[in-house]
Amino acid sequence: MITVDAKPFPYAFPPEKTALIVIDMQRDFVEPGGFGESLGNDVSLLRAIIPTVASLIGLFRTKGWPVIHTREGHEADLSDCPPSKIRRGAPSMRIGDVGPMGRIMVRGEPGNAIIPELQPVDGEIVIDKPGKGAFYATSLGDDLARLGITHLVFAGVTTEVCVQTTMREANDRGFDCLLIEDATESYFPHYKAATVSMIAAQGGIVGCVTPFTSLEAAAA
Ligand code: TIU
C-alpha cells in the first residue's frame, strides 16, 4: 500500500488496483468557443490546471497505473440527450448547434475532443458519457471490474458538476476515492472550494482530497 497525506485522513491505496480518471478535459469546456463559454463561463480559469493534470497523468503513466479519460457528449441525432438538458440554462448556443468547433457537445466534433495537451495514448480507456456522471450509461463500471480496480484518483472539470457527480457515483459503488484538488477546477471558485470541502467533510463522506505534490511525494 502507498499512503498519501490527505484530508480528512491519510489515503492508502494499493497501486495495482488504482486508476486515474481524468474528467472531461475536452475543448468544449476548456477552450473559447465551446459549450462552457456558450453558457456564459470564463474558460481561462480551467486552463490553469492543465500543467498539473499533465503531471498527474505523467505520474500514472510512469508507474504503469491505468489512466482513464472521459468526454461528455452526445450522438449526432441527440437521441441520448434529454430535452431537459438541451433546454437547460440560457446558452448563446445549445447542444447540437453549430459553433466555432463544430456541433456543440456532439461526439466526433472538434469541440468534443480532449485538448491537445492531455491527449490519451494507445491503450488508455476513453469513456464517452451522455451524463454528468461517468458511470451512467457507459461501460466504466465493467471496465473497472475487468481491471480489478478498487481505488480511484480524480482530476478534471468541472469540480462541482461532472467530477463531483462521478465521485459520488464511484463512492456509492464502493470505490475508495481521492480528489487531486489542484488538478480540478470550476468556472466558479466558490463552488470548487465548497465541493472540495464537502467531499472531505463528515469523515470523508465522498472521499479524500490532497494536492498533487502529496501524491507525487508518496509515490516516489
Ligand atoms: N457546466 C459545467 O460546469 N459542467 C458541465 O456541463 N460538464 C462537466 O462538468 N464536465
The confidence score (pLDDT) of residue 123 equals 96
Atom of ligand 1 nearest to the CA of 162: 9
Pocket test for ligand 1, best of 29, 88, 165, 169 (most atoms within 8 A of CB): 29
36: pLDDT confidence band, cut at 50, 70 and 90? confident
Per-residue pLDDT tens for 128-176? 999 999 999 999 999 999 999 999 999 999 999 999 999 999 999 999 9
Cis (ω within 30 of 0) for the bond into 158?
yes
**Residue positions annotated with a catalytic role:** 24, 129, 162
Confidence of residue 63 (pLDDT cuts 50, 70, 90): very high
pLDDT of residue 129: 98
Residue 28 CA to ligand 1 center (angstroms) comes to 10
Q: Facing residues of 21 across strands?
A: 68, 154
The closest of 122, 27, 40 to 71, measured between CA atoms, is 27
Task: Judge contact between 22 and 126, C-beta under 8 A.
Answer: no
Tell me how far the alpha carbon of residue 66 lies from the centroid of ligand 1, in angstroms: 24
Residues pairing with 98 in the sheet:
103
The string of pLDDT tens digits covering residues 179-217 is 999 999 999 999 999 999 999 999 999 999 999 999 999
How far is ligand 1, taken at its centre, from the CA of residue 36, in Å? 7
Are the C-beta atoms of residues 3 and 132 closer than 8 Å to each other? Answer: no
Give me the torsion for CA of 168, 144, 72, 100, rounded to 10°: 140
Find the residues whose C-beta lies inside 6 A of ligand 1.
24, 29, 39, 72, 157-158, 161-162, 187
Under the banding of pLDDT at 50, 70 and 90, the label for residue 48 is very high
Probe residue for ligand 1, chosen from 115, 157, 167 as the CB with the greatest number of ligand atoms within 8 Å: 157
